[in-house]
Amino acid sequence: MSSKTMIEAKNITKHFERKIALSSLSFSIKQGEMVALIGPSGAGKTTLLNSIAGLVPLQSGELLIDNLPLRDYKRGKKFAKKIGVIRQQFDLIGPLAVIHNVLAGKLSEWGLLKSLVSLLVPQEKESALSALERVGLRDKSYEITATLSGGEQQRVAMARLMIQNPEIILADEPVASLDPARADDVLSMLTKIVSEENQTLVASLHSVEYARKYFTRIISLKNGGIFFDLPTEKVTDEMLSDLYLLKEQE
Amino acid sequence: MMKRIPSLQLHKRFILTVLLLAVFVWSLTSIHWNSELFHAGGIPTMLQIVEGLIQPNVEPRILLVGLESAWITLAYAVAGMSLAIIYAFIVGVLASGTLTSSNFSRFISKVFFRGILGFTRSIHELIWAWLFVAAVGLSPYAAILALAIPYGGILGRIFADMLNDVPKEPIIALKAAGSSRLQTLFYGYLPLVWADFISYTMYRFECAIRSSAIMSFVGLGGLGFQIQLALADLKYDAVWTFVFYLIALVILVDAWSHWVRMGLTNHKRIKGFGSGWMSVLFATLLVVGSWIYITIGENARLFELLSEKNMEYAKKFFGGLLGINQENPAFLDAESWALALRLTMETLEMSIMAIGFSTIVAFITVIPAARNIANGNLTLKKRWYNWPMFGLIRLLYIFSRSVPELVWAMMIIFIFKPGILPGALALALHNFGILGKLWAEVIEDMDPRPIRNLATAGASKIEIFFYGVLPIVLPRFLTYILYRWEVIMRTTIVVGFVGAGGLGMDFKLAMSYFDYTQITLLLLCYMILVLIADFASETTRKAVK
């Protein structure tokens, strides 16, 4: 495993109106790490992921992605190859066939004409089919995405990420609306793919068990600040109950 | 924050209902109710018209003419709609602001293109037809463009609204995957809205058939033209034959659009050559067939429209509208304004009367017309006469809405003397069927449990209606009344064309006398009315919420 630093945050701060969302966070994540973000709701997990994805502008501090400042990246192909995002299953285009949703991961590489033709005759079909094969949905390639179950849709989103093939994957509550069996399914698949491709994964989770089971490092957030940042095996039950309990006493 | 007195809040709907009733009664007072309203031979004529209805003309010659005219009507409607869709697509996308990057340019493009859509749809298709015929002469393109412009305006506005309402998450995800704005449009926005857009277009297509039929009024062929000719010859039996053709056409289109909508809401995909592809094929054939017929069969040339002679006419016409080189333009003359405003008032009264009549008839008939009442599901009572009543009233509704207001007006004008009453009656005859159908669907969609409780408690049908059904459905009923009123407002000017009073009658006179500045003045008044109607119904709708 290389030790290249993929994400480096230096005192990043973000507030919405009066509310502080992120207060002076600093951390660095190396290539191949699998990081779980945990913490009570409203702690800033989503805001942090959105700022790394470049969706939310920061007030101060600096974010380096692969040693380049985030703001130096332009939207488009280069950034899409660097960072990919996966959320709850709502981020697919329901009325499109599964294969088109998967091939949408190629849009940054394709021109307009090729992407239009692909809606009629799927282009680079083999790559999409093999991605679907890996998530176990090859037989559903031509079904309407909206007819699939929540867990299946999340696997389609993963296949799209595989096609996009970014170096960093940001997952925002990827299993929030799935039942435990499906959630296990999706997370084990996601972490397996990430380690096979030597990608870097940062996922926000509401469940501590999943964080411990699938991730190598846990960063916990509370009130916009880092509460602890430790390898998974060093996280104790006490720390966790502190993380969630303190919130209620405030 | 304004605090309201609770009892006022509670009685808001009641007060509103009384207010609307009062407005309706006020509109009735504008008519002198006596026998002077009828033509001397009005009643016998009416009997003759009814006779023709019972015994329509079924001579093969008439039937053939009817078939050919029905095809022309369909072809114009299809050609007009195909242009309308293109216009709606392009301007709708621009008006939604989905292709713009910065907030400022999005705001500008929204205001500008929504303005264009609003303007094109606020003017009735028949007025567009008048303007085109006056500017470029009789050509099928006058009819097609006259249909395409307002329908494109309506479709485009709905399209833009749909694009603005798509869920955000999938779009953000696509952008995060690096797709460009145009790619996001084709992979995100369009797939998300296309099913709804097609449903709405199919629904509008049915309206376009009726509009296409009345295009004949300005001298363009089709079923309306034949109806007009037969009326002029007092051949009422033939009139009904053509009317039945029109009804059949509307029913067929309605059935097709129903079928398409069913296919779209059913998410299950049929493998192979499904109903969706059948419809696509059929639609393509229709569009191609219509255009071939119009360009080859009717020998209409688009470039002829743009000939130098026509450009000269058009320049003169629109220059005239703007009052260029006119001594005393009517729209700058106080006296003309006073007269036009009086006509505007009359037109307003006509529209209120029309929606009032429609509401009364729909109100009386709607209960037996609801499927869940007919089969006894809602009231838990089954009577032998339920289904015959249901069938009869639904048939009446179809009959009422299939015949355009203008055709009703042309017939009614044989019975009544010109004035706003015949206009209001014609509008009401067309609209009660639409209102009744929409209302019946509201009742069919309602939660049956509270009503069944009332029924088991022994309430009679009337009691159930006032205690159970009405309180639940009233807000939606009112919404539909207001929505139809807006539509009626746009159409008032059209029934005026055939002598049913109001702005339309004067509009036609001004057209015949080439009094261009007067036309501009009347159009201004008309647009004021449309704006008032939009505003009033929007305010009332919000008050009911």
Question: Which ipTM score applies to this complex?
Answer: 0.80
Same domain, B146 and B237: yes
CB contact under 8 A, B174 and A107: yes
* Residue after which a domain boundary falls, among B317, B350, B383: B317
> What CATH class has A5-249?
alpha beta
Residue among A201, A165, A198, A197 nearest A80 (CA): A165
**A96 inside 8 A of chain B by CB:** yes
Whether B63 maps to a domain, the answer reads: no
The conformation of residue B457, written as its DSSP 8-state character, comes to T
Task: Give the list of residues 6+ apart from residue B261 with CB closer than 8 angstroms, or none.
Answer: B199, B202, B203
Residue among A203, A150, A201, A199 nearest A172 (CA): A203
The conformation of residue B381, written as its DSSP 8-state character, comes to -
Task: Give the list of residues 6+ apart from residue B381 with CB closer than 8 angstroms, or none.
Answer: B455, B461
Same domain, B434 and B305: no
Contact criterion met (CB below 8 Å) for B142 and B128: no
* Residue after which a domain boundary falls, among B288, B317, B346: B317
Same domain, B282 and B370: no
CB contact under 8 A, A110 and B167: no
The conformation of residue A235, written as its DSSP 8-state character, comes to -
Contacts of A91 in chain B (CB under 8 A): 169-170, 172-173
Mean per-residue pLDDT, B407-418: 84
Whether B365 maps to a domain, the answer reads: yes
CB contact under 8 A, B267 and A144: yes
Same domain, B406 and B290: no
**A124 inside 8 A of chain B by CB:** no
**A92 inside 8 A of chain B by CB:** yes
Q: Which residue of A has its CA nearest to B195?
A: A95
* Sole residue written with tokens 């698949």: A189
Residue B305: its pLDDT value, please? 64
Residue among B228, B225, B243, B214 nearest B53 (CA): B243
Whether B281 maps to a domain, the answer reads: yes
Residue among A91, A103, A75 nearest A159 (CA): A103
Suggest the residue from A107, A143, A160 to mutate for an interface test with chain B (most B CBs closer than 10 A).
A107
Query: pTM of the full predicted structure?
Result: 0.80
Same domain, B187 and B291: yes
* Sole residue written with tokens 């059949």: B248
Same domain, B111 and B174: yes
Phi, psi of B417 (to 5 degrees): -75, 155
Residue B156: its pLDDT value, please? 92
Radius of gyration from C-alpha coordinates of chain B:
25
CATH assignment of the domain containing B207: 1.10.3720.10
Residue A250: its pLDDT value, please? 45
Same domain, B163 and B212: yes
Would you say residue B5 has pLDDT above 70? no
- The residue extents of the domains of chain A are 5-249
Same domain, B311 and B440: no
Mean per-residue pLDDT, B19-46: 78
Contact criterion met (CB below 8 Å) for A83 and A52: yes
Mean per-residue pLDDT, A218-241: 88
Residue A169: its pLDDT value, please? 92
Whether B73 maps to a domain, the answer reads: yes
CA B469, B472, B477, B480 torsion: positive or negative? negative
Whether B48 maps to a domain, the answer reads: no
Range of the domain at B508: 332-544
Q: What does pLDDT average to over chain B? A: 82
Least confident of B210-214, B330-334, B335-339, B401-405: B330-334
Phi, psi of A137 (to 5 degrees): -125, 20
Contact criterion met (CB below 8 Å) for A210 and A187: yes
The larger pLDDT score, comparing residue A142 to residue B418, is at A142
Q: Characterize A16-45 residue by residue with b for buried, 16 or more Cβ atoms within 10 angstroms of its Cβ, and e for exposed.
A: eeeeebbbebeeebbbbbbbbbbbbeebbb
Same domain, B343 and B212: no
* Sole residue written with tokens 């998450």: B169
Would you say residue A121 has pLDDT above 70? yes
The separation between the first and the last C-alpha atoms of chain A, rounded to the nearest angstrom, is: 42
Whether B489 maps to a domain, the answer reads: yes
The conformation of residue B540, written as its DSSP 8-state character, comes to H
Same domain, B98 and B225: yes
What's the domain count of chain B? Answer: 2
Contacts of A146 in chain B (CB under 8 A): 267
Contacts of B182 in chain A (CB under 8 A): 112
Residue B272: its pLDDT value, please? 45
Contact criterion met (CB below 8 Å) for A243 and A235: no
